[in-house]
A = this chain, B = another copy of it.
């Protein structure tokens, strides 16, 4: 039987794109995993989470195992709003919806705001899972280059003006990771942030601000678009994936109540009360500032080690971003196709994510790759860069 006919036309069209996870390199066990955007295993608070999980089940018995009724789970939203306050964000005029990671928030936004007629704009490069999600709902995904100051709002303005003059559909949403951007590590300047907000007001689009890395700054805390937003154009996405652990699947979206309550209809009761209860108790331990300070220091050290190794070992024409926070840097390797080089790298015992996976138009990232300094320890960061440098030199010697 042909099952394709049961799918909607829009879904049928989305099947043209690569299936999820296609970007994950087949890294053998002993490989130094510079592709992995996970927190360092040593920085995941396993024992504390095991304790709060045990406490929840001991104290609340079956309640967190039913759909509703766990007092701890019910407090999670308040805990998250408290974290938002620590980030300088006024949550009083908005609603916050807890989601299954920011991935679910991106999906809920897409599901409710995008159909085949809709246009969405993203940075180039950007978080590959966001591209995948948008492509599930529309093939009209515009990409705007970024440079060392983030999204090129000047180019975006030109594009908007041109589309308007040609009576083309304008984007409904722009998705951006303004601070310690995935995959590049770049942070958007304050001037660009203000310009982007002006454009939102002038051309009437929503800004989806993905701030998964915002708290992991190494020097100064970047101001969020949400803090600068006077007119209500920003949907702010937060996540505990990078600051506690991604497997908890705790993210959130904060924004205008009309939109958030619509997302909630589509989310239904798909929360995870047991995990939510344990995480609420963990956040209530009250040592958040201590924890986040420790993370900043640890990841800054890893960043320094990685950049030091790149300087020492990379061929002279290879360039990279010096991230001021987050997990990633982004290499530019002139003349090398990073996807073609990947099997060589894996064979040499080092992995990365090829740049084209982060681009709506794969050719835009063909000479780039993403390195993560979050997951492997300092010694392996150095060994990984040495191996990668050798692989690049070898790739260039190939016919």
* Residues on A facing B (Cβ under 8 Å): 1, 3-4, 6-11, 14-15, 19-21, 38-39, 41, 44, 46-47, 49-50, 53-54, 57-58, 61-62, 64-67, 70, 100-101, 103-104, 107, 111-115, 118, 129, 132-133, 136, 172-173, 206, 231-233, 245-249, 256, 258-259, 261-262, 264-266, 268-275
**Residues of chain B with a CB closer than 8 A to A44's CB:** 61-62, 65-66
In the complex, A373 Cα to B20 Cα: how many Å?
Answer: 43
The answer to whether A11 and B112 touch (CB under 8 A), given A6-B172, A275-B275, is yes
Q: Which 3 A-B pairs have the closest CB atoms?
A: A65-B245, A3-B258, A44-B62
Residue A54 contacts which of B50, B256, B273 (CB distance < 8 angstroms)?
Answer: B50
Q: Which residue of B lies closest to A271 (CB)?
A: B249
Residue A246 contacts which of B6, B7, B67 (CB distance < 8 angstroms)?
Answer: B67
Q: Smallest Cβ distance from A274 to chain B, in angstroms?
A: 5
Q: Are B265 and A8 in contact (CB under 8 A)?
A: no
Residue A268 contacts which of B54, B132, B233, B266 (CB distance < 8 angstroms)?
Answer: B132
Q: Are A269 and B129 in contact (CB under 8 A)?
A: yes
Q: Are B262 and A249 in contact (CB under 8 A)?
A: no
In the complex, A21 Cα to B100 Cα: how many Å?
Answer: 19
In the complex, A136 Cα to B46 Cα: how many Å?
Answer: 39
In the complex, A269 Cα to B265 Cα: how many Å?
Answer: 21
Complex copy number for this chain? 2
**Residues of chain B with a CB closer than 8 A to A62's CB:** 39, 41, 44, 46, 245
**Residues of chain B with a CB closer than 8 A to A269's CB:** 20-21, 101, 103, 129
Q: Are A268 and B20 in contact (CB under 8 A)?
A: yes
**Residues of chain B with a CB closer than 8 A to A21's CB:** 269
The answer to whether A111 and B113 touch (CB under 8 A), given A65-B46, A270-B103, is no
The answer to whether A245 and B61 touch (CB under 8 A), given A8-B114, A19-B265, is no
Q: Are B67 and A57 in contact (CB under 8 A)?
A: no
**Residues of chain B with a CB closer than 8 A to A233's CB:** 1
Can you sample 25 A-B contacts with CB below 8 Å? A3-B258, A6-B172, A6-B206, A8-B113, A11-B113, A11-B262, A11-B266, A15-B262, A38-B66, A41-B62, A44-B65, A44-B66, A46-B61, A46-B62, A50-B58, A53-B57, A64-B247, A65-B246, A65-B248, A70-B247, A104-B270, A107-B266, A132-B268, A247-B272, A275-B275
